[in-house]
Structure 1
Amino acid sequence: MDTKTLIVTILSSSFLAATVTSLASGLFSLKLKKNDFLYDFHKNILDKRIMAYETVESIIASLRGSIVDQDGLSYHQVFSFGNEEFINHLILIQSAMKQGMWLSSDITKHINQINYIYLNADEDLIEFGKDNYESIANERNNLENVFARDISKLHEIEPFLLSKSNESNEYNFVNVKSV
């Protein structure tokens, strides 16, 4: 082999090695970028879910306190603070409903049911609370059980997204006239 052929062979193998190294490095870099994007995407979804579940936690906490009135009937403490505080409680319920896309369908169902019960609320909140104590307590208990189940799987983004894409888009409208 002469010197010229040896130099061409060395240069061509160096060029080939540099090309293969560059391609491998570029592909590796693209894979890392894709992983970074997926990580950020999942983190953003998880952050939104955490905020939504914090709202649900506040709803549960606001319905945990109960009072027994002089007539021996119980009602939730949220009804004893007057209209302004009850309106703040309703705003919390509405906030959770607005964040429904980040909540499981079971959580959303129980929040909607509590909201449905509240459609009959009138000026006498304490009497309303007494009349609906058991149904609100049952829904709060159901909400709390589903919350405990969901919170343990909150980080599982792919199954959550799959469940949301398979959910029915039908909405059960409440007939206010029949309430």
Structure 2
Amino acid sequence: MEILALVLSSSLASAVISTVLGGMISGWLKRIDYADEYYRQVLQRRIEAYELLEAEIGILKQSCLADDGKAYHLIFAYGINSFYDLQKGLMAVMAKSLWLSDELQDIVVSINRELLDASFIAQDDEELVNVGKEKYQKIASLRHQLEQRFSHDIGALHQIKYFLKKKAKSKHEFSLFEINSHVNS
């Protein structure tokens, strides 16, 4: 009888321990799966934002020389409506800026400010080209910074924990863009 009691109690203890350990391991694995799925979702959103930005960079890379020898980005030559389309694209990128690095976000904001400024100055297609000539160096410099930062970020896009920690500590604030001084009366 003692042997039977011993076997039953050790079997019962073994079953209890197996169940408890199995439950703990199962819970641990579910938490890992949850975290992995969360990181996959964050990565996917980051990829979507960077894809939008990549298209805008491609548009900003196209430049030409005018008859007077001054350079300007072609987006200034396609007319005001196409220019507004570029701005809409940048606004779409800015709407997803939560998924961009702070450094990249700052450059996108700077380019957008230059383009907004141009849109408030130019009243027709000819003025738009002239404004494009005036802003060529500034926009070209910002676009270069944008490409460099974009390339840097792409190499670290998968580092989700680092990105989230950095975003949590971010003090990024948008400053207002004053348009009153730019609007023609």
Q: Is 2:51 aligned against 1:54?
A: yes
Shift of 1:97: 0.7
Look up the match of 1:36.
Answer: 33
Look up the match of 2:133.
Answer: 130
What CA distance in whole angstroms lies between the structure 1 residues aligned with 2:169 and 2:11?
54
Unpaired stretches in structure 1, ≥5 consecutive residues: none
Q: Quick one: which amino acid aligns to residue 148 of structure 1?
A: S
What CA distance in whole angstroms lies between the structure 2 residues aligned with 1:51 and 1:170?
23
* 1:67-106 alignment runs, 5 A limit: 67-106=64-103
CA displacement 1:102-161 (0-9 Å, x = unmatched): 001111111111111112221222111111100000000011111111111000011111
TM-score scaled by structure 1? Answer: 0.94
Q: Quick one: which amino acid aligns to residue 145 of structure 1?
A: Q
Could you tell me which of 1, 7, 10 is aligned with 2:7? 10
What CA distance in whole angstroms lies between the structure 2 residues aligned with 1:45 and 1:151?
14
RMSD, matched Cα? 1.2
Q: Matched residue of 1:67: which SS?
A: strand
What CA distance in whole angstroms lies between the structure 1 residues aligned with 2:135 and 2:171?
30
Shift of 1:176: 2.2
Q: Quick one: which amino acid aligns to residue 3 of structure 2?
A: L
What CA distance in whole angstroms lies between the structure 2 residues aligned with 1:171 and 1:105?
11
Look up the match of 1:157.
Answer: 160
Could you tell me which of 109, 118, 121 is aligned with 1:112? 109
Shift of 1:93: 0.5
Q: Quick one: which amino acid aligns to residue 95 of structure 2?
A: K
CA displacement 1:40-81 (0-9 Å, x = unmatched): 000000000001111111111111111111111111111121
TM-score scaled by structure 2? Answer: 0.91
Q: Quick one: which amino acid aligns to residue 137 of structure 1?
A: A
Identity %: 31
Q: Matched residue of 1:177: which SS?
A: coil
Could you tell me which of 156, 163, 166 is aligned with 2:169? 166
What CA distance in whole angstroms lies between the structure 1 residues aligned with 2:23 and 2:16?
10
What CA distance in whole angstroms lies between the structure 2 residues aligned with 1:82 and 1:163?
40
Aligned length: 176
